[in-house]
């Protein structure tokens, strides 16, 4: 699975003008399941997201996780993370999981996150979403688990 993690002071996702997910301080996580991914990758990704120490401690050092600060998680599906542009200027998305499998793994990740963390919001799978965020830092980290 591929993800892009952004430390945010706030973030929200809108679908057709209505907010479907919103958090204050925490992590906006864009997520893409790739062909061949299974639940083990989702579990590994979630563990890394929850433990990633990218929030400042009292000394200003990145030393706290989203769990440590009791921040929110906003999980948003984004198949375009699997884009392959090696063949030209038009991206190919053949590395992304098929839509049904992508949805299944995304929903699995969300369910696991809700069991492990108190504040979990989401986008809407396969919807045309507008993502609004205030990137804190900015801190943006790409993460791929195999």
User: Catalytic residue positions?
Assistant: 78-80
Cis upstream peptide for 71 (omega within 30°) = no
Closest CA to 35 of 92, 123, 86, 99: 99
Q: Mapping DSSP to helix (H, G, I), strand (E, B) and coil, where does residue 114 land?
A: helix
CA distances from 42 to 68, 78, 86, 144 (A): 21, 14, 26, 10
Distance of CA 51 to the CA centre of its chain: 14
Contact 115, 48 (CB under 8 A): no
């Amino acid at each position: 699975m591929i993800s892009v993690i952004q430390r945010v002071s706030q973030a929200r996702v809108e679908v057709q003008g209505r907010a479907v997910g919103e958090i204050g301080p925490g992590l906006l996580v864009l997520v893409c399941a790739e062909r061949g991914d299974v639940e083990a990758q989702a579990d590994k990704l979630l563990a890394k997201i929850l433990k990633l120490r990218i929030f400042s401690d009292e000394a200003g050092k990145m030393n706290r996780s989203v769990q440590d600060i009791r921040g929110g998680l906003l999980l948003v599906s984004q198949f375009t993370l699997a884009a392959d542009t090696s063949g030209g200027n038009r991206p190919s998305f053949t590395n992304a999981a098929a839509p049904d499998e992508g949805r299944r793994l995304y929903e699995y990740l969300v369910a696991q996150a809700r069991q492990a963390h108190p504040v979990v919001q989401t986008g809407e799978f396969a919807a045309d979403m507008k993502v609004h965020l205030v990137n804190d830092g900015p801190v943006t980290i790409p993460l791929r688990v195999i």
